[in-house]
Structure 1
Amino acid sequence: MSVRKSPITALVLSVIVPGLGQIFNEEKKKGLVIFASCLGLALLTYWFSGFNKFSIALALILLWSSAIVDAFKVVNASGQPSEFYYRRPYVVAMLLLVGPLAFPLLWQSPQFSRFARWTWTVIVVTAALMFVVTPYLMNWLIKQAPDM
């Protein structure tokens, strides 16, 4: 007989520390990935300034809030994934709209093969890196250009 876990406990733990609600739900890998991602985004927010700082902080808030909702819903659903969220068109749309924040949807969806998951992961990570690196590359190119 399994003991039913409290969704409120999972929610509160996830509010206190990102990923702790997932660990409480016995999803240790997911919890550690969420914690590491939030920690990385927090460090990037501290490190950068200007618009990048705002966008990274926004990504941190979105990731943390989605982790809170996930921790609550997983306990309520007894770990059963919702069919709508794991359909291929929805997952692809989320990957294109929010990038790496949609990785949990991609990797939990039963509709993607292992090869497709890795392919989408590489594509989205490459696009995200290009998005981050492009402003710095443009600044460097402008500085290297001869004065006219």
Structure 2
Amino acid sequence: MVNSLTEYKIPVLGKIGLSARFGRLEGNAMLAPSYLADGSIILSYVTKGSGLIRIVGSTGKADLDTRVEEGDLFIVPQFFAIAGIADDCGMDLFSVVTSSEPVFGQIAGEMSIWNALSPKVLQTALNINPELAEDFKSRNAKSITIIP
């Protein structure tokens, strides 16, 4: 479950250029790999529970791959992707985003950027055959629990 506060809900956030999100991951749930397409920065605080967080830059290398727990604070830099998995006890995150209208994108799952691409574009971009492109799209859409 994710709840967002943007300038649409609280207009004063538009004047200060910030928004906020609260996310609750149940035990062993996964936060689908996502990113902010508008170049915003995310400052996240673990308010409850614990889990694993991975932050990846444009090189594909994990710049942060660590266990976090209640009281930990971490930053997701511009154009970096984040994914997480809660421990058995679950994990709650409160995040401040440096945009009053953040543009979130997902790398996997039903709302993935991959699903927006036609099979032909996928074939060309990944240098794969048509059957593999279709299989990739169908598995990608079903494989990860989405938290918008």
Where on the TM-score scale, by shorter chain, does this alignment land: which range? under 0.3
The structure in which a higher percent of residues are strand is: 2
With a CA cutoff of 8 Å and minimum separation of 6, indicate the structure with the bigger relative contact order: 2
